[in-house]
Amino acid sequence: MNLEYFLLLAAALFCIGIYGLVTSRNAVRVLMSIELLLNAVNINLVAFSNFLDGQNIRGQVFTVFVITIAAAEAAVGLAIILSIYRNRDTVDMEKFNLLKW
């Protein structure tokens, strides 16, 4: 049980999330990948809070904040996906290029 195990685990989860974020074509899967990224950050925060700041656990407080923001982000993101699906009749990320050029 070292700090490095948890940091490596969080780094692996973050890289998996980035791969899914870039390569997936379904818009809902992009949101899931964002959740993976936020969870990797949370693991880092809790690990640092346990190993480096054992007495007053500030990292867990920040984790609760991140969880709150992630819940709000998921709600708004899924609402945006519903709205865009109603307008464009697809969830393909390649078709969402209104603001691209």
Partner 1 sequence: MNLAEGVRLVSLIILSVMMLGTALGVVLFENIVYSAFTLGGVFISISGLYILLNADFVSAAQILIYVGAVNVLILFAIMLVNKQEDFEVLPRRWIRKVSTAFVSLALFALLATMVLQTNWPVNPSKQPPASSVLAIGIHFFTDYLLPFELASILLLMALVGAVVIARRENIVGEETAIVSEEPPHIFELPERPREPIS
- Counting residues that bind partner 1 (by CB under 8 A) gives 75
Site string for partner 1, 56-75 (x = CB under 8 A): xxx-xx-xxx-xxxxxxxxx
d(CA 27, CA 89): 12
CB of 18 to partner 1, least distance (A): 5
Distance (Å, whole) CA 101 – CA 59: 42
Interatomic CA distance for residues 89 and 53, integer angstroms: 50
Residue 53 CB, nearest approach to partner 1 (Å): 9
Q: Does 96 sit near partner 1 (CB under 8 A)?
A: no
What's the Cα-to-Cα distance from 26 to each of 29, 30, 34, 71, rounded to whole Å?
A: 5, 7, 13, 20
Range 6-25, binding partner 1 (CB under 8 A): 6-9, 11-20, 22-25
- Examine residue 41 and tell whether it contacts partner 1 (CB under 8 A): no
